Amino acid sequence: MKPLFIRIFIFVAAACLIPVHAEEDAASEAARQENATGLLEEEVIAHDPVMIREDGVYYLFTTGPGVTVWSSPDMTHWSREAPVFPTAPDWAKKEVPGFNGHIWAPDISFHDGLYYLYYSISSFGKNESCIGVATAKTLDPDSPEFGWQDHGIVVQSLPGVHNWNAIDGNLIHDQDGKPYLSWGSFWSGLKLAPLAEDRTRLAVELDDAISIASRSSRWSEQLGDQEGHPIEAGRGAIEAPFIIRRGDHYYLFASTGYCCRGLDSTYRVVVGRSETIEGPYLDRNGLSMMNGGGTLVLESDEDWNGVGHNGVTRLDGVDYIVYHGYDASTESGLPKLRIDVLQWDQDGWPFVEAQ
């Protein structure tokens, strides 16, 4: 979701706030891990992680050149695999001229014999972005059936045309099995639309996508084009939607605040829930996520700053929340993998036990 661990969706004038040395440290450390084997969770450099399991092996997908892939036999010791894309999809540079080869915010799921990997192509500080999708029959690189097939663009946003940003895609099925894609970052917030049966394109026109969360209730009043579309991200700091269904509710997880500032990152994870997939998503106090609501799930502590961009993986009846945090024990705050058990209180709200 970020060009090698850096994403800024704020006014361009604020770009100088990002510590360049933190970006360089993260990039160099990630490069050193290219052929790593058996790294512990807290050693893995990772941004925007998602996890899935196939035949007893855990696979982790993160932001990186071509989408970074890790595997583990036990969810503790991780080894680097080859990226999903040895070279970026041919269409990426054409559609997003500022694209630098780093593919953001992967989302992995399995349906009817295929793994679906949604990914984001974007560039620094713009909503000139695309969400693409690739499929594979297996995640095992040693299998003769292994290989990714790219299906191209699912959703695209254009500056001055759309008031949302086409990154951070997440697939969710409703109770009837109908597929939906959620996405979005800053600008007017998070969006949702049904997918076609093949899950490679939307089933509706882009204008029919609905809003499900926003941190900027007055986004339409921000400086924008003649049609009221914001031309900058402004202060609407919300992104990375991830929806799961549990019991009678759909739960929308999102990250608010700012990532990508190393030890100065303010990312945190919030959640709301709804009885229908299209919302409204309300927090514990009944405040809609469209109006800035969200019950806190994760926040910074003395060990980890800017925790966020989570995925949730349900395995053997246990929910795991997978996310990144900036390691406070490192000078620049390196982004690293975090995996915790997601617990649920008696009222059906998720929480993570303090370590």
Active site residues: 48, 239
Phi-psi region of 286 (alpha: psi -120 to 50; beta: other; left: phi over 0): left
Determine the Cα–Cα distance for residues 62 and 68; give it in Å rounded to an integer.
Answer: 5
DSSP alpha helices (H): ranges in the chain? 20-32, 90-95
For residue 223, how many C-alpha atoms fall within 13 Å in the half-sphere facing its CB?
A: 6
Percentages helix, strand, coil for the chain (3-state, rounded to 5) are 10, 40, 45
Burial class (CB in 10 A: 0-12, 13-18, 19+), 278: middle
Determine the Cα–Cα distance for residues 65 and 323; give it in Å rounded to an integer.
Answer: 19
Tokens of 8: 């800024």
Q: Count the residues in the chain.
A: 355
Residue 349: partners with Cβ closer than 8 Å, 6 or more residues away: 271, 273, 284, 295
DSSP one-letter string for 171-220: EEE-TT--EEEEE-BSTT-EEEEEBPTTSSSBSS-GGG-EEEE-S-TTGG
Determine the Cα–Cα distance for residues 102 and 120; give it in Å rounded to an integer.
Answer: 9
Q: In the sheet that 102-111 helps form, which strands lie side by side, from edge to edge? A: 64-65, 102-111, 114-121, 129-136, 149-157
Burial class (CB in 10 A: 0-12, 13-18, 19+), 13: exposed
For residue 62, how many C-alpha atoms fall within 13 Å in the half-sphere facing its CB?
A: 26
Contact 242, 312 (CB under 8 A): yes
